Amino acid sequence: MSELFRVEGLTKSFGGLAVSRNISLAMQEGDRIALIGPNGAGKTTFVNLVTGQLQPSAGQVVLNGEDVTRLGAVQRVRRGLVRTFQVTRLFSDMTPEEHVTLTVLQREGRATRILSRFHGNSEVAGEVETILSTLGLLEVARRRVREIAYGQQRLLEIGIALALRPKVLLLDEPAAGVPSSETPRIEHALERLPKTLAVLMIEHDMDLVFRFARRVAVLAAGEIIFQGLPSEVAANEKVREAYLGNYAHARSVA
Partner 1 sequence: MQVAAQTPEIATSSSAGYRWARDAVGVTLILAAGLAGYWLFPDNLALLTRVIAVALLVLSIDLVTGYGGVATLGQAALFGAGAYAAGIACVNGVTEPLTLILIGAVAGAVAGLFMGTIMLRAHGLAQLVLSIAIVQLFHEAANKASAYTGGSDGLAGLMVSPLFGAFEFDLWGRTAYLFGLALLIVVFASLRFIVSSPFGMLCRGIKEDPVRIRAMGAFVFPVLLKMFVISGAVAGIGGALAAISTQVVGLDSVSFELSANALVMLVLGGLGTLYGALVGTVIFMGFEHVVSAINPFHWMTMVGALLIGVVLAAPGGLSGLLDRMSGISRRRKEKRT
Q: Does 17 bind partner 1 (CB under 8 A)?
A: no
Q: Does 119 bind partner 1 (CB under 8 A)?
A: yes
Residue 159 CB, nearest approach to partner 1 (Å): 12
Q: Does 164 bind partner 1 (CB under 8 A)?
A: yes
Q: Does 126 bind partner 1 (CB under 8 A)?
A: yes
Q: Residue 26 or residue 125: which is nearer to partner 1 going by CB? A: 125
Q: Does 111 bind partner 1 (CB under 8 A)?
A: yes
N-to-C CA span, the chain: 51
Binding mask 34-73 for partner 1 (x = CB under 8 A): -----------------x-x------------------xx
Q: Does 138 bind partner 1 (CB under 8 A)?
A: yes
Cα–Cα dist 97/99, whole Å: 5
Q: Does 78 bind partner 1 (CB under 8 A)?
A: yes
Q: Does 87 bind partner 1 (CB under 8 A)?
A: no
Cα–Cα dist 126/5, whole Å: 30
- Helices 96-107 and 150-163 pack at an angle, to 10 degrees, of 20
Of the candidates 117, 162, 118, the residue with the CA atom closest to the CA atom of residue 137? 162
Q: Does 241 bind partner 1 (CB under 8 A)?
A: no
User: DSSP assignment of 34-96, as one string?
Assistant: EEE--TTSSHHHHHHHHHTSS--SEEEEEETTEE-TTS-HHHHHHTTEEE--SS----TTS-H
Alpha helices for the chain (secondary structure H): 43-51, 73-78, 96-107, 122-134, 150-163, 183-191, 206-212, 230-233, 237-253
How big is the CA angle at 77 (ends 74 and 82), to the nearest 5 degrees?
135
- Interface pick for partner 1 out of 58, 94, 221, 225 (rule CB under 8 A): 94
- Interface pick for partner 1 out of 2, 16, 87, 114 (rule CB under 8 A): 114
Q: Residue 145 or residue 220: which is nearer to partner 1 going by CB? A: 145
The residues binding partner 1 (CB under 8 A) are 51, 53, 72-74, 77-78, 82-83, 85, 89-94, 97-98, 101-103, 105-107, 110-122, 125-126, 129, 133, 138-139, 141-142, 160, 164
